[in-house]
Amino acid sequence: MSKNWENWDAEMTADFQADFLSWYQQEKRNLPWRYDQDPYRIWISEIMLQQTRVDTVIDYFYRFMEEFPTIQELADAPEDKLLKVWEGLGYYSRARNLQTAAKQIIAEFDGVFPTTVEAIHSLKGIGPYTAGAISSIAFKIPEPAIDGNVMRVVSRLFCIEADIAKASSRKAFDEAMRKIISQNQPGEFNQALMDLGSSICTPTSPQCESCPIRNYCQAYQEKRQTDFPVKSKKQRPKDVYYIAGIIENQQQEIFLQRRPESGLLANMWLFPLEEVSQIEFQAFQKRYDPAAWDLFSSSLVAEDNPPFFSEQAVVWQKKVLGEVKHVFSHLRWHILVFYGRNTGPLTLAGQWVQPKDFSDYVFPKPQQKMLEVFENNLADDKE
């Protein structure tokens, strides 16, 4: 693989840095975690920004800092409270790792955020990118922060042919970044790359005429911008099919189940789910057509109950309330939502909860979507 960055001499590198940083000072985004160099705030923001849009993160960041303004308060927080503040951001292991790392800082660094790349990297949930971002922004250490945006910009800058989907390619980008990163303003340099990648050097249709570094960009000069970055296709998420049961008792309580302590959506609350095959799922879609029924006006008949949750003392509405889809990194959930009324003891593990108390429970995104389906049906029935 050609190492085109080796063709840059010290003068060209200095000119590139000066032009790029001048653009950043004029155009940088006004973000709440950029007001100072507090490593705690930078850390929280960088973890939140993983797999999440900046616009989404801003409100969550404000709420998080209000609830947990210090490392100690994060370390001491009840997990349910932590997950409730995180609710809706997804990838909940990020929040748990934050708390584990906060406890590490208390135990191993006397409550003070560590100041070396190695020590920062030793914290739970912090990989090379996050370690580079924190160390460069908070402590002015010239450490690269290489994420998807950065790899896209740098791959075009030097026409790097390495497949960014492969972990082994990181070495090339790390070497290129160490060649060009500002030694005096590494944090600003890394953030400039992040801003450029998100606003101008985008995955498709890059705005090259507005780019402050187009005169240095080899892909622009060769009119090959769309050839980079090189990236092999990701494996498609596996489709999984569920029936969700919204079960209500005579006290107007709804039955909820808590997920196991480990694994996907650990310790969070959902309506009961029963996995079915794709064929069964499609058959239920056709048989229980929602257009043919009104939610509460159609009769609830014990006989001929749908063949799911079959051992439970529940009489089910003979219609599907709606369908929910949710994509995780490796799974795609398809959920048909049904309503039923409880007629006796349940063998399911869980608890009855008044809807007014739902705010006390941590609901993952699929649960929020299912609840929205139910509430929309209630609203329709009252019209």
Q: Is the pLDDT of residue 296 over 80?
A: no
Active-site residue identified among 6, 46, 209, 303: 46
Q: How confident is the model at residue 381 (pLDDT cuts 50, 70, 90)?
A: low
pLDDT of residue 297: 44
CA distance 93 to 90: 9
C-beta separation of 167 from 241 below 8 A: no
Unique residue bearing structure tokens 């009119």: 223
Average pLDDT over residues 312-340: 93
- Among residues 180, 187, 212, 181, the alpha carbon closest in space to that of 199 is found at 212
Q: How confident is the model at residue 378 (pLDDT cuts 50, 70, 90)?
A: confident
Structural element, H or E, at residue 254: strand 254-258
pLDDT of residue 132: 97
Q: Is the pLDDT of residue 302 over 60?
A: no
Q: Is the pLDDT of residue 379 over 80?
A: no
pLDDT of residue 291: 62
188 catalytically annotated: no
pLDDT, one tens digit per residue, over 114-172 is 999 999 999 999 999 999 999 999 999 999 999 999 999 999 999 999 999 888 999 99
111-115, 213-217, 281-285, 364-368 — which is least confidently predicted?
A: 281-285
Average pLDDT over residues 259-264: 91
DSSP SS3 for 345: coil
Average pLDDT over residues 292-299: 47
Instruction: Give the architecture (CATH level 2) of 238-382.
Output: Alpha-Beta Complex (3.90)
Q: How many residues make up the chain in this entry?
A: 383
Q: How far is CA 77 from CA 68, 69, 80, in A?
A: 8, 11, 8
Domains 4-227 and 238-382 share a fold: no
Q: Which CATH superfamily is domain 4-227 in?
A: Hypothetical protein; domain 2 (1.10.340.30)
Token pair in block for residue 112:
């003070």
pLDDT of residue 277: 95
Q: What is the dihedral of CA 167, 135, 196, 162, to 10 degrees?
A: -20
What is the chain's mean pLDDT, rounded?
A: 92
Percent of the chain with pLDDT over 90: 83
pLDDT of residue 377: 84
Q: How confident is the model at residue 290 (pLDDT cuts 50, 70, 90)?
A: low
Q: Is the pLDDT of residue 300 over 60?
A: no
Average pLDDT over residues 192-211: 94
pLDDT of residue 1: 65
Q: Any idea where the domains of the chain sit in the sequence?
A: 4-227, 238-382
CA distance 101 to 108: 10
pLDDT of residue 101: 98
DSSP SS3 for 151: helix
Q: Is the pLDDT of residue 200 over 90?
A: yes
Percent of the chain with pLDDT over 70: 94
pLDDT, one tens digit per residue, over 73-116 is 999 999 999 999 999 998 899 999 999 999 999 999 999 999 99
Chain centre to alpha carbon of residue 332: 15
